[in-house]
């Protein structure tokens, strides 16, 4: 959490208690959102893995694209950068 907050501010030491609490809540919400999306996509990928290769459909491709986008959110948070993925 401290690492993710440090990516948002210039100096952790310069934050007062109220600002630190605000950033903690923001990072926690981001992590929870990304974690929920990751869990949902993981379930979709598990279902996709049980299908026969000849049953592969365009919906399966979109499942894979969503999985890539969710993973990019985690990378974006940890790198402190906006990753660009075209849809």
**Per-residue confidence (pLDDT) for residue 33, from 0 to 100:** 85
Q: How far apart are CA 26 and CA 23, in angstroms?
A: 5
Q: What is the pLDDT of residue 66?
A: 83
63, with CB counted inside 10 A (0-12, 13-18, 19+), is middle
- Structural domain spans, the chain: 2-79
Q: How confident is the model at residue 81 (pLDDT cuts 50, 70, 90)?
A: low
pLDDT classification of 82: cutoffs 50, 70, 90: low
Residue 34, token pair as written in the block? 């990304």
Per residue in 28-70, pLDDT tens?
998 888 888 888 888 888 887 777 777 777 887 888 888 888 8
Give the mean pLDDT of 20-27: 90
């Amino acid at each position: 959490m401290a690492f993710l907050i440090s990516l948002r501010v210039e100096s952790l030491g310069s934050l007062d208690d109220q600002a630190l609490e605000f950033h903690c809540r923001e990072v926690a919400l981001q992590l929870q959102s990304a974690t929920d999306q990751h869990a949902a996509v993981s379930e979709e990928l598990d279902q996709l893995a049980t299908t026969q290769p000849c049953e592969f459909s365009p919906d399966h491709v979109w499942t894979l694209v969503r999985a890539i986008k969710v993973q990019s959110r985690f990378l974006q948070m940890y790198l402190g950068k906006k990753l660009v993925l075209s849809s």
